[in-house]
Chains A and B, each alone.
Chain A
Amino acid sequence: MSALLSVRDLGMRFGGLLAVDGVSFDVNSGQVVSIIGPNGAGKTTVFNCISGFYRPTSGQVSLLGKTISGLPGHKVARHGLVRTFQNVRLFRTMTVVENLLVAQHSRVDTNLLTGMLKTRAYRAKEAAAMERAGFWLDQVGLREVANREAGNLAYGQQRRLEIARCMVTGPRLVMLDEPAAGLNPNETRELDELILLLRAEHDVSVLLIEHDMKLVMEISDHIVVIDQGRPLAEGTAAEIRNNPDVIKAYLGES
Chain B
Amino acid sequence: MPGQLKGALFSAAVMLVLAVPILGIQITTEGSSVSLVGELHYAFIAAGLVFVFKLLERPLSTLLGMTHAANLLPSADRMATYRPAILTVLIVLAFIWPFTASRGAVDVATLALIYVMLGLGLNIVVGFAGLLDLGYVAFYAVGAYSYALLTEYFGLSFWISLPIGAGLAALFGFVLGFPVLRLRGDYLAIVTLGFGEIIRLLLNNWDELTGGPDGIGNIPKPTLFGLEFTRTAKADGNIPFHEFFGLEYSGTYRVIFLYLLALLLVLFTLFVINRLIRMPVGRAWEALREDEIASRSLGLNPTNIKLSAFTLGASFGGMAGCFFAARQGFINPESFTFIESAIVLAIVVLGGMGSQIGVILAALALTVLPELARQFEEYRMLVFGLVMVLMMIWRPQGLLPSKRPRMELPT
Inter-subunit contact B406/A95 (CB<8 Å):
yes
B73 at the interface (CB under 8 A from A): no
Interface residues, chain B, CB within 8 Å of chain A? Answer: 272, 275-276, 279-281, 283-284, 286-287, 290-291, 293-302, 308, 312, 403, 406-409, 411
- A residues less than 8 Å from B286 (CB atoms): 91, 93-94, 102
Main SS of chain B's interface residues? Answer: helix
Complex contact B298–A77 (CB within 8 A): yes
B290-A91 in contact (CB<8A): yes
Residues of B with C-beta under 8 A to A51: 297
B409 adjacent to A110 (CB under 8 Å) = no
Q: With A97-B409, A116-B272, A147-B406 given, is the CB distance from A110 to B281 under 8 Å?
A: yes
Given contact pairs A89-B291, A169-B299, A102 touches B284 in the complex (Cβ within 8 A):
yes
Q: Give Cα distance in the complex from A46 to B307, angstroms.
A: 31
Q: Bound complex: CA of A133 vs CA of B298, how far in Å?
A: 14
- Further pairs besides A103-B299, A110-B281, A137-B409: 11, Cβ < 8 Å: A52-B296, A74-B297, A82-B297, A89-B291, A93-B286, A97-B409, A101-B407, A103-B298, A130-B407, A146-B411, A147-B408
Asked if B409 and A78 sit within 8 Å, CB to CB, the answer is: no
Contact B290 A93, beta carbon cutoff 8 Å: yes
Query: Shortest CB–CB separation between residue B312 and chain A, in angstroms?
Result: 8
A83 within 8 A of B: yes
Within 8 Å by CB of B284, from A77, A105, A109, A130, lies A105
A109 and B408 within 8 A (CB): no
Smallest CB-CB separation from A79: which chain B residue? B299
Interface size on A, residues (CB 8 A): 44
A interface residues, Cβ below 8 angstroms from B: 51-53, 72-74, 77-78, 82-83, 85, 89-95, 97-98, 101-103, 105-106, 108-110, 112, 115-116, 118, 126, 130, 133-134, 137, 143-144, 146-147, 165-166, 169
Which residue of chain A has its CB nearest to the CB of B290? A91
Name the one of B272, B290, B297, B411 contacting A77, with C-beta atoms under 8 angstroms. Answer: B297
Q: State in angstroms the CA–CA spacing of A72 and B300 once bound together.
A: 11
Interface pairs A-B: 3 shortest CB-CB: A77-B299, A146-B409, A115-B279
Which residues of chain B are within 8 angstroms of A73 by Cβ–Cβ distance?
293, 296-297
Partner of A82, one of B287, B298, B408: B298
User: Closest approach, in angstroms, between the C-beta of A77 and any C-beta of chain B?
Assistant: 4
**A169 pairs with B298, CB closer than 8 A:** yes
Whether B300 pairs with A105 at a CB distance below 8 angstroms is yes
Instruction: Kindly provide the distance from the CB of B202 to the nearest chain A CB, expressed in whole angstroms.
Output: 29
Contacting residues, chain A, for B406 (C-beta < 8 A)? 94-95, 98, 147
